[in-house]
Chain A
Amino acid sequence: MTKKAARKTTAKKASAPTQQVPLVDYLRLGARPYLRAHECTRCGARYFDRRNACAKCGKTEFKNARVKNAARVKAFTIVHRAAPGIPAPYVSAIVTTEDGTTVRSNIVNCEPSPDTVKLGMKVKLTTYPIGTDDNGCEAVAYGYQPA
């Protein structure tokens, strides 16, 4: 939610303004959500977490990079037996984005069946709420859906 939108909500005196928080800090919410990577300024290797030095080349400088939202499925599995509290079956996948970054996530808005999910399938980034905490704050995850 943008600052402008938040002010507007406050002005209307809504009883419980819904706050959103990304599930992980590299998911950037907003009008057009995307994944932010730390990109090595020398070799271009990308990392979703913070690194003390680049695991590929050793350089210690990184810049923020916007990962492209279009991707293809490189590998997937359909998880039927999940840890308690996780709805199953669901599709877990490894996708390669248009700009060559590998991402792990669920495939959403897609039947969890090997007849539906295909290797090489075109997908795109999407976001969806996964729950609300005691303060009314909503957590938002990312997934990929068929493009």
Chain B
Amino acid sequence: MPADPNNGDDVWVLGTHMTKFGRYPDKDWVDLASESAMAAMADGKVTIHDMEILAAGSLFNASAGPGQRIQKQIGQTGIPVYNVANACATGATAIRTVYMAIKAGEAEMGLAVGVEQMGKMGMLTGATKKESKTYEPGGRFGAVTGVDGYLGTEGMPGVFAQAGMEYANDHDGVGFEQFAKVAYKNHMNSTLNPLAQYRKEFSLEEVMGAPVMSYPNTLLMCCPTGDGAASVVLVSGERLKSMSKRAQKRAVKISASVLTSDPWTESGQVLPDVNTLTRNAAQQAYEKSGVDPSDLDLVELHDCFATAELLHYDNLGLCERGGAGDWIDSGGPFRDGATPVNISGGLISKGHPIGATGVANVYEVTTHLRGEAGDRQVKGAKVGLTHVIGLGSSCGIHVLEKAAV
């Protein structure tokens, strides 16, 4: 279903860019963000002087004022800056901040930037344990020393492994092999994406035979740390009408922008519930956009670990309820399947510089809807969805539609 003609009330993506994800020892995060911001504005044929709001997110630099740091590199025009931090949903939150300002009529055009420089943080094992010399109760649980490794795991591969195993407990046809297929698919997809951090194909046997981090997640089923930035320029429908035909043709409509947090669930205090808030966000996104899951030509979702991706097939309504195992077994999320998922390679292989992730997936879907995705292009893509989860938790979803003009 093509987007409605521009009625002036919607918010559109005018320009976008992402850096290649990877490691940049010779640049800092301000360089990466500035490079991406300027390239996104150039893509939309506009400049910093057209921007009326800037929202910026960099989780590990949240207290450094990322937006103002970027302005000092690319233009200090005095516009309002919103620095946002929302775990892995930081980038999506930056986009939604600009979206809301335009919807509220406070701005006609704005810039959202997400960036992170993580290098090799070694996040797969969790925090180093602090061993007390004297046992004194502290914190909200009165713990006398670190509990990681005693009262279960606090490491991310394990937390998401448990989330996947909970789904396996509740539904038939889900196990190690179904989870491993997610990583097999995403590594394969990344070979076509020049912006991906890794571009190497692995067989299903290699994925399953890789060193186990937290069963069932092997090394090849975990996203890497890395560096990168991504940006979008958003514009009001009204302003877009006054722009060139080419700009209007390349503009992509944001049919829904949704952010949710996790409502109370019984198990939430010990196992982060990444499902309920995703389901709630998806329901809102489909209602607001009038898009049905079956209309989606591609989906970029939050595959921080292979076990997580499988849950979201179900949460986003891409498969029958409880049927995520069958869906991947039947090829549903593969490139030639019913709804290609993470055609970019996903977080697992494209990479996951945290603040950049929620903007980079909008870059990816926009690029496909414009028909500019090169070798990895999903042919004839008209409607796409992006999804991120920030643990704690936040869920950001954007539904994007190709311009009808």
Contact = CB atoms under 8 A, between A and B. Distances in A.
Given A81-B125, A104-B152, A114-B176, A94 B132 contact: no
Please indicate which of the listed interface residues B149, B270, B271 has the most CB atoms of chain A within 10 Å of its own CB.
B149
Contacts of A48: 141, 269-270
Interface residues of A, number: 55
Contacts of A137: 134-135
A77 B214 contact: yes
B166 interface: yes
A130 B147 CA distance: 10
B149 A79 contact: yes
Contact of A94 (B128, B143, B213, B271): B271
B137 interface: yes
Interface in B143-189: 143-145, 147-153, 155, 157-158, 161-166, 168-169, 176
Given A45-B264, A77-B215, A82 B149 contact: yes
Contacts of B126: 82-83
Interface in B216-267: 216-217, 264, 266-267
A130 B271 CA distance: 23
Contacts of A26: 141-142
B149 A83 contact: yes
Contacts of B132: 133
B125 A83 contact: yes
Interface residues of B, number: 50
A90 interface: yes
Interface string A82-113: 11111110101110100011111110000000
A26 B140 CA distance: 10
Contacts of A102: 266-267, 269-271
Please indicate which of the listed interface residues A47, A78, A84, A119 has the most CB atoms of chain B within 10 Å of its own CB.
A78
Give the 5 A-B residue pairs with the shortest CB-CB distance, closest first: A25-B142, A86-B149, A77-B161, A102-B267, A104-B270
19 contacts: A21-B135, A23-B150, A45-B266, A75-B163, A77-B215, A79-B149, A80-B214, A83-B149, A85-B131, A92-B152, A94-B152, A94-B166, A100-B266, A104-B270, A114-B215, A119-B169, A120-B169, A131-B131, A133-B132
